[in-house]
Structure 1
Amino acid sequence: MDRDNQTRVTEFLLLGLSGQSEQEEVLSGLFLWMYLVTIIGNFLIILAITCDSHLHTPMYFFLATLSCVDICSSSVTIPKMLVNHRLGSRSISYVECMTQIYFFITFTNMDGFLLSVMAYDRYVAICSPLHYTMIMRPKLCVLLVAVSWVITNLHALLHILLMVQLTFCSNNTLHHFFCDPSPILTLSCSDTFINNLVVFTVGGLIFLTPFTCITVSYAYIFSKVLKFPSIQGIRKALSTCGSHLTEVSFFCGAILGVYMYPSSSYSVQDTVATVIFTVVTPLVNPFIYSLRNRDMRRALRKLILRFRIRIPQS
């Protein structure tokens, strides 16, 4: 078919997760609640780390950055869904969709790179504690985050440059609540071989790089910890890694479940996995790190107490 004779798509229709108005009403209310908890929880983490001088360490710098990314990641997808539901609309323009895909890829990949940087931080803290302050200098921490930002933005830009070359014809209906790259590719009437190839090669490399870093870091950590003479020492060392390992399991499991398969095989199970790392993971992060971390609990209590003291005075 001649592309010039095809009707070009200028917008996409987001049918949501169920496609039924009654269920969408319930899901929208649930997503609104989860989004508010995500924003408040992660903002409190950032505020507690900023206000408590005892938390001005590399580990908490990375945690504050992760909370910023989680806020941005949730804000890329959920608000548009809530606005559409409020207005009784299902449409998202082509430009809005491409923009959403760009930032979705950026922040999703940034999560993975930050988790790998945090794994390296834990490796240095446990395996080389005497050299920790010398290795994890502030300049190095900022550099690691900056390099992660550059790589993730370049990766997102590559996908967008390839995607805008595709032609989308009459089919513009998406059974999702946001413009997820994989189901978007299934709507194209162009050849998506190059796009899928980039997903498997470049996307796989972007995923495997932090995953390998995390795996190697924890291999060294566990080999070091098992040499500790006391059970108490082992528990203390592993307690600093528990929150991070929980987050890694959530994130990597969902990513593997969705993006390591061709776009043509995208299914309802993939949508559920997408919801896990776009909505659930940013939501549970503050609880994972605050409930399992004594220093964070102390900082949050101090922060809440400070607000309670100030409120009557105002």
Structure 2
Amino acid sequence: FLCFLFFKLSCSEKYILSLGKNITFVHPAFFIIGGLTGIPNITLYYVFLFFVYIVSVVGNTVVMAVIYLDHNLRTPKYIAVFNLAFVDLFGNTALVPKVLDIFLFGHYYIPYNDCLTFLFFCYTCLSLQSFNLVALSYDRMVAIIFPLHYQVKVTHRLILSLIAFFWLLAITIILTAVGLLTRLSFCDSVVIQSYFCDHGPVYRLGCNDLTPNRVIAHLAPVLVLWVPLAFIVGSYCCIGYSLSKTATCRERLKALKTCTSHLSLVAIYFLPALFIFTFGSTILPNARTVSLSLATVMPLTLNPIIYGLQTQEIKESLKKLLKVKIAPQFWRVWDQLA
């Protein structure tokens, strides 16, 4: 019921939502985003974000197009890679253009429902990226430890089921967090000290009981960050143990080489998040906001670059597509125009 109201209520003016006789929620007409104000030469950072967004759009679109057009890449592993590229593209599109609109063009006021919708899509995409890395770690673990049974253990049905489960899990977690925000009354400040409608700064503005929101604020990182990271670390411990028992030095290096792309993605995604959430209270608020914005934007941009540069199958497929499909069409159009 609360989620339904979240999408249906009008935010044209400040309103009071009453449920029953003793429950009244006061929702503002808008929030004010104030996280990146007062930073010297911040315009250069916005230009950098715009460049990063363009690279993300081009890179993720190329990765998805290559996987879709090359039938040889329609394997369980690259289905997960395709989903990762889609989530990266969707996440950056949900976040960066709105951030640029807010700070570069001075549109600091964001309607209440728009803010919660913005929060939902951004956090859902960030959660899905973490879960996608779990699917890819499972793929690498089975491929190295059980190479002869890989085709049986890692099937299209299994990967698609995992992806569907992760989408459902991420949507459920974030929708619960958003639904709990709708039960808060905002009686005083409406200024969000972040670069977007961040869950923590938003719920701390509430003036009624914040206990459910604190619970989900502590539970969600465990489910989205720590549990996936524990599974990934455990999978690589199993890989290391298996290689130490059964493989020669050359075979170990060859097996580990197939994991470099995934390990790079894991490091880019988890290390900045762990650093910020561990030492964030010791750095200045503006520095923390900029660091957090980079930690959310950069992984979504670097993922397709890493897979494009470090994955031989995608590089070879891209070369083949450029040579066989795209180049002849280009010259055909060129001849017609000439």
Q: Which residue of 2 aligns with 1:14?
A: 33
**Counterparts of 2:220 and 2:212 in 1: how far apart (Å)?**
11
1:225 to 2:243 alignment: yes
Secondary structure of 2:236's counterpart equals helix
State percent identity of aligned pairs.
28
Deviations 1:56-109 (A, max 9, x none): 211111111000000111111111122335643211111111001111221111
Number of the residue aligned with 1:173: 191
Write the mapping of 1:52-201 to structure 2, written as runs, cut at 5 A: 52-85=70-103, 87-201=105-219
Give the letter for the 1:13 counterpart. Answer: I
- Structure whose CA Rg is larger: 2
Q: Give the letter for the 1:219 counterpart.
A: C
Q: TM-score, normalised on structure 1?
A: 0.89
Q: Is the 8 A contact 1:15 1:176 kept in 2?
A: yes
For residues 166 and 128 of structure 1, the distance between their equivalents in structure 2, rounded to whole angstroms, comes to 51
**In 1, Cα distance between the equivalents of 2:285 and 2:203?**
13
CA distance in 2, matches of 1:189, 1:209: 32
What are the superposed Cα offsets for residues 272-306 of structure 1, whole Å, 9 maximum, x if unpaired?
34223321111111111111111111122223333
SS of structure 2 residue aligned to 1:47: helix
Assess, with a 3 A threshold, how the Cα gap between structure 1 residues 274 and 219 changes in structure 2: closer, same or farther.
same
Which residue of 2 is the match for residue 312 of structure 1?
331
Contact 1:196 1:262 in 2 (8 A): no
Q: Which runs of 5+ in 1 are unaligned?
A: none
1:221 CA displacement: 0.6
Deviation of 1:29 after TM superposition, in Å, equals 1.7
- Return the letter of the residue paired with 1:34: V
Query: For structure 2, which runs of at least 5 residues remain unmatched after alignment?
Result: 1-15, 18-23, 334-338
Q: CA RMSD in A?
A: 2.6
Give secondary structure in 1 for the equivalent of 2:319.
helix
Query: Does 2:53 correspond to 1:35?
Result: yes
Q: How many residues align?
A: 310
TM value normalised by structure 2: 0.83
- Superposed, 1:288-307 pairs within 5 Å as 288-305=306-323, 306-307=325-326
Contact 2:195 2:293 (8 Å CA) reproduced: no
Aligned residue for 1:227, secondary structure, equals: helix
1: CA distance, partners of 2:96 / 2:155: 36
Whole-Å Cα distance in 2 between the matches of residues 51 and 64 of structure 1?
Answer: 12
**C-alpha contact 1:182 1:266 (8 A) present in aligned 2:** no
Q: Distance in 1 between matches of 2:280 and 2:293?
A: 19
